[in-house]
Structure 1
Amino acid sequence: MDAPRYHTALIVGTGPGLSASLARLFARNGMNVALAARDTTKLAELCADTRASAHACDARDPLAVAGLFQEVQARHGAPDLVIYNASARVRGPVGDLDPEAVRTSIEVSAFGAFLVAQQAARLMLPKGRGAIALTGATAGVKGFAGSAGFAMGKFALRGLAQTLARELGPKGIHVAHFVIDGAIRSAAQTGAEERPDATLDPDAIAESYWQVLHQHRSAWSWEVELRPWVETF
């Protein structure tokens, strides 16, 4: 079997970091790219660079997510590669956490991922092919003090990914969960000079996604951990 060739990518939860690197990588490889975010004004430059379409969507809203897939399908055709990269962080001692902020964090990190994966699966199952990638974090495999709100959502995301991989994999859909175990490099997060590459390069993460999503179906990964070389674990 040849390596899969994807035509249309939908990235949900698009910002200037990993999602932007993924969008540029997909565009360089000739794919149609659709970007979804609650605020699409921040996507203008990325859309210009990648010829991507921008779509406003609250991933927590079932009707909005269904409408997103309809828009993308009308514009580009059904997406055969769907990336869920949305999350909401909330930190603090458990006694001080705002319950509504925690609810939002869980809904964005996990419930939104379910809604997006559900819509993706409905389009991919009749064709027997496609891929769904879910972006996790250290907090999804190891809870830290003060991270209850974030960890609950990411643990749920990992459970969703494992379930989907077992359900959809035998039907031709590759589901992969990526544990980003460290800080992603950005203008505000570059790492100390004495520890080069102490943060994850978003372009390097994107390349890992690409490699995993092009695995031969006889050797699929359902989960991959990515961390800087100096990270302890």
Structure 2
Amino acid sequence: MSVALIVGVGDGLSASLARKLAARGYRLVFAARNIAKLGGLAAETKAVTVACDASQKDDVAALFEQVDEMGEALEIAIYNPSARARGPFIEIDPDAVQTGLQVTAFGAFLVAQQAARRMLPRGHGAIFFTGASAGVKGFPQSASFAMGKFALRGLAQSLARELHPKGVHIGHVVVDGAIRNPGRTEPPDRPDSMLDPDAIAETYMQLLEQDRSAWSWEIEVRPWVETF
């Protein structure tokens, strides 16, 4: 069995990813700041849970030490966390912006670096990042989120060019639209306007299972009614 690590686990996309990876026989590790909320999903998927603030290098190092203790190869690492500070640019709290960048981009760097150190000696593995439309177009009053997601996309593109020839598959999934999570549904006048988390997760699985002769480094997903 191989290990699949999901960093930033909740009840939406990451839960769908967990179920699909478990169905494919992976041993799962969930990392989140608050693991108390993961009990049900962890029991369902037989996952190990690890408390981790992905923006802190010591937390990330300790997370991967626990992954190593499982005694099996890390096959895939998925990075989901992000943070943002909304509001008019001249009013945004600089501390909140710094936190957002650390969570969205620096944390992704930390996790990817640790994962790559374990995958490169084997010449095999996959590191995927959950991106957003903010990583390809900046929106008003969302400067900090654009900064973080642009940095995340740049990290993924750079890693793909460096690590693909060494056998490690890098994937950046641009989620262009709102995700249909528990308790969050489309307005009556816009049916089917949100992304189904199971459908997004299936796209991740297709990316994971690509033949290396035709690897993608980036895929965009959006509702069929979304304008762009």
TM over 0.5: yes
Q: Distance in 2 between matches of 1:184 and 1:89?
A: 17
1:224 equivalenced with 2:219 (yes/no): yes
Any idea what the Cα deviations from partners look like across 1:180-203, whole Å, max 9, x if unmatched?
Answer: 000000134211234332100001
Shift of 1:89: 2.1
Name 1:7's counterpart in structure 2.
2
% identity of equivalent residues = 62
Deviation string, structure 1 residues 94-146 (Cα, Å, up to 9, x no partner): 11111111101011000000000000000000000000000000100000000
5+ residue gaps, structure 1, are 1-5
Matched, 1:143 2:103: no
Partner of 1:170: 165
Is 1:160–2:155 an aligned residue pair? yes
* 1:64-87 deviation digits (Å, cap 9, x = unpaired): 101101101212523210000011
Structure 2 residues without counterparts, runs of 5 or longer = none
Range with greater deviation from structure 2 (159-168 or 6-15): 6-15
Letter in 2 for 1:211: Q
Which segments of structure 1 move beyond 3 Å, counting only runs of 4 or more?
Answer: none
Aligned to 1:110: 105
Q: Secondary structure at the match of 2:130?
A: strand
What is the correspondence of 1:1-233 to structure 2 with a 5 Å cutoff? 7-75=2-70, 77-233=72-228
Q: Note the aligned Cα RMSD (angstroms).
A: 1.1
SS in 2 for 1:132: strand
Look up the equivalent residue of 1:102 and give its one-letter code. V
Deviation at 1:21, TM superposition (A): 0.6
- Amino acid paired to 1:11: I
Q: Distance in 2 between matches of 1:89 and 1:209?
A: 24
CA–CA distance in structure 2, aligned partners of residues 195 and 123 of structure 1: 45
* Residue 29 (structure 1) shift: 1.2
CA contact (8 A) 2:2 2:27 kept: yes
Cα drift, residue 224 of structure 1: 0.2
